[in-house]
Amino acid sequence: MISFSRVYKRYPGGFEALRDISLAIADGDMVFITGHSGAGKSTLLKLMAAIERPTSGSVLINGQNVGTLRPRAIPFLRRNFGLIFQDHKLLFDRTVFENVVLPLSIVGYERRDAARRVRAALDKVGLLAKEKAYPVTLSGGEQQRLAIARAIVHRPAMLLADEPTGNLDAAYAGELGELCKSFNQVGVTVVIATHDEHLAARLKPRLITLRNGALAEAPVEAAA
């Protein structure tokens, strides 16, 4: 459950990235955040993932107010999420396997258990054969799928993706859409910031549209 109530985000220098955002995303939802570039899509995701704090208003994740959370509690909140970044944020000095195992070693999984989960995640995205490869040797689409494997390996309740299809051709983008849909079908809340209309047309998600940092039209449900 993610809910925003009268959220503003102003960056130092006075730029107002988000204005008066109130919205709610229920567990198991599939939501696309769309809008022109610079409309505040990434900022919205960063607030959801507790990467940034709102300037005013409240952001509640599973009932916890991100703005007032103690810094020590932030990592534990973030473990609820699987994050997929536009630039993948892969570690290029580590193998595919080591990249995917990272979230599990952070939580402290036992080695054998972790390996089993990593292989399951890699299998899911079709990279099982490449577990010993290094990310540089992968294609753009494969790198994106690697990033997804890392995001889902710890079975998060929410998957947040920022422009996941940004640099992909249409076929890869479609594949990725199917993957996201399959996660959604097993109960994962999926939030995707994108301007990819084909993807939206195919998956028929709920749409949240931003224009210049404000909601373009009232979302279906108001903030809880």
Partner 1 sequence: MRIWLSQHARTLAATLARLVRSPVASLLNVGVIGVALALPVGFHVGLANLQAFASELAAAPQLSLFLALEASASDVAQIDQRLKRHSGVRKYHYISREQALREIKTSTGLADVVESLSHNPLPDAFVVDASDGASQTLEALRDEFKRWPKVAHVQLDSAWAQRLEAVLKLGRLAVLMLGALLAFALIAVTFNTIRLQILTQREEIEIAKLIGATNPFIRRPFLYFGALLGLAGGGAAWLIVLGGVYLLNDGLSDLSRLYGVPLRLHPLTAQDSLSLLLFSAWLGWFGARLSVGRHLSELEFR
Q: Which is nearer to partner 1, 190 or 199 (CB)?
A: 190
Q: Pick from 63, 108, 136, 201 the residue near partner 1 by CB under 8 A.
A: 108
Which residue blocks in 31-110 are alpha helix, DSSP H?
41-48, 74-78, 96-107
Using CA atoms, how far residue 186 sits from 27, 28, 30, 116, 180, in Å, is 11, 8, 12, 20, 10
Contact stretch for partner 1 (CB under 8 A) within 15-23, 35-43, 81-89, 136-144: 81-89
- Listed in order, strand segments (DSSP E) in 42-198 are 56-61, 64-65, 81-84, 158-162, 189-193
Q: Which is nearer to partner 1, 94 or 202 (CB)?
A: 94
What the block records as the tokens of 201 is 């047309």
Q: Is 62 in the site for partner 1 (CB under 8 A)?
A: no
Q: Pick from 10, 19, 53, 119 the residue near partner 1 by CB under 8 A.
A: 53
Q: Is 79 in the site for partner 1 (CB under 8 A)?
A: yes
Q: Pick from 13, 71, 136, 186 the residue near partner 1 by CB under 8 A.
A: 71
Q: Is 113 in the site for partner 1 (CB under 8 A)?
A: no
Taking the complex as a whole, the smallest distance from the CB of residue 47 to partner 1 amounts, in Å, to 11
Burial per residue of 112-150, b for 16 or more beta-carbon CB atoms within 10 angstroms, e otherwise: eebeebbbebbebbebbebbeebbeebeebbbbbbbbbb
Q: Which is nearer to partner 1, 72 or 132 (CB)?
A: 72
# of chain residues touching partner 1 (CB under 8 A):
26
Taking the complex as a whole, the smallest distance from the CB of residue 18 to partner 1 amounts, in Å, to 15
Q: Which is nearer to partner 1, 77 or 120 (CB)?
A: 77
**Helices 96-107 and 140-152 sit at what angle, rounded to 10 degrees?**
20
Taking the complex as a whole, the smallest distance from the CB of residue 130 to partner 1 amounts, in Å, to 20
Q: Is 105 in the site for partner 1 (CB under 8 A)?
A: yes
**Helices 111-125 and 96-107 sit at what angle, rounded to 10 degrees?**
130
What the block records as the tokens of 168 is 């992909």
Q: Pick from 6, 26, 56, 89 the residue near partner 1 by CB under 8 A.
A: 89
CA distance 211 to 41: 9
Q: Pick from 2, 83, 121, 191 the residue near partner 1 by CB under 8 A.
A: 83
**Helices 140-152 and 170-185 sit at what angle, rounded to 10 degrees?**
10
What the block records as the tokens of 101 is 């195992």
Residues that bind partner 1 (CB under 8 A): 49-53, 71-72, 74-79, 81, 83, 89, 91, 102-103, 105-108, 110-111, 150
